[in-house]
């Protein structure tokens, strides 16, 4: 037990970021006011490409594992239904900078807009806030410290973990597996 506590304390130190990639995000996002975040959340539909089909609010999607296997790639299935993690710097969405909306690859629920994305330097697509009601969170005790993992509110698919080392004013870093996202550009 002592060793576990020692490791947790070690990783909480600022210099741990220099030697352990992904522990602490590079604070690269422009600072925004709280009211700007609220406006950003409210206007997510303005970044939706015309004709994009959005699932009705509150409609859940429950499928069997066999059905999910047909619908998802093997890697997406591992991440979303078995809570796996893609390798860092493997998603092309890391470098996606166009205007648009990131939707769940499992069920098409809109999750983030391009305005909410920032470069965390971790190798996973990162966001400092989400579209309202997109996710549900739960404690994940799988590592040597507790993390908060989040799941799509519609299909329950695992997307990633949320940390408190993001840019102000939210200080949130929603660290998302790129394979669980589909990007819908506003203009093609
Ligand atoms: Zn979903």
Contacts of 36 (CB under 8 A, 6+ apart): none
- 5 pLDDT band, cuts 50/70/90, is low
Structure-token pair, residue 135: 């996710």
Lowest mean pLDDT among 3-7, 129-133, 146-150: 3-7
**Alpha helices, DSSP H, located in 102-162:** none
Say how many Å lie between the CA of residue 21 and the centre of ligand 1: 28
Instruction: Tell me, in angstroms, the distance from the centre of ligand 1 to residue 43's CA.
Output: 21
Report CA(184)–ligand 1 centroid distance (Å).
Answer: 15
Cα distances from 54 to residues 75, 108, 174, in angstroms, run 24, 7, 22
Residue 34 Cα, ligand 1 centroid: separation in angstroms? 27
Q: Spot the catalytic one: 107, 152, 155, 175.
A: 175
What are 29's two structure tokens?
């996002």
Whether the pLDDT of residue 112 is over 90: the answer is yes
Q: What is the pLDDT of residues 153-164, one digit of tens each?
A: 999 999 999 999
Query: What is the distance between the alpha carbons of residues 184 and 188, in angstroms, rounded to a whole number?
Result: 9
pLDDT at res. 18? 44
pLDDT score for 20: 44
Would you call 117 helix, strand, or coil by DSSP?
A: strand
Q: What is the pLDDT of residue 140?
A: 79
pLDDT at 30: 56
Cα separation, 44 vs 57, in Å, equals: 14
DSSP letter at 109? -
| 104 flagged as catalytic | no
Cα separation, 122 vs 132, in Å, equals 24
Percent of the chain at pLDDT > 70 equals: 81
């Amino acid at each position: 037990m002592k060793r576990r506590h020692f490791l947790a304390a070690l990783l909480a130190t600022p210099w741990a970021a220099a030697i352990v990639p992904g522990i602490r995000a590079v604070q690269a996002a422009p600072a925004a006011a709280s009211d700007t975040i609220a406006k950003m959340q409210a206007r997510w539909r303005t970044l939706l490409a015309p004709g994009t089909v959005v699932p009705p609010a509150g409609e859940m999607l429950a499928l069997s594992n066999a059905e999910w296997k047909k619908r998802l790639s093997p890697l997406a299935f591992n991440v979303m239904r078995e809570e796996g993690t893609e390798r860092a710097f493997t998603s092309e969405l890391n470098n996606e900078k166009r205007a648009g909306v990131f939707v769940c690859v499992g069920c098409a629920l809109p999750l983030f807009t391009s305005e909410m994305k920032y470069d965390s330097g971790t190798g996973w697509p990162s966001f400092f806030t989400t579209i309202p009601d997109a996710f549900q969170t739960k404690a994940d005790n799988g590592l040597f410290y507790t993390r908060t993992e989040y799941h799509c509110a519609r299909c329950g698919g695992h997307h990633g973990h949320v940390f408190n080392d993001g840019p102000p004013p939210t200080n949130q870093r929603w660290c998302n597996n790129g394979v669980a996202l589909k990007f819908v550009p506003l203009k093609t």
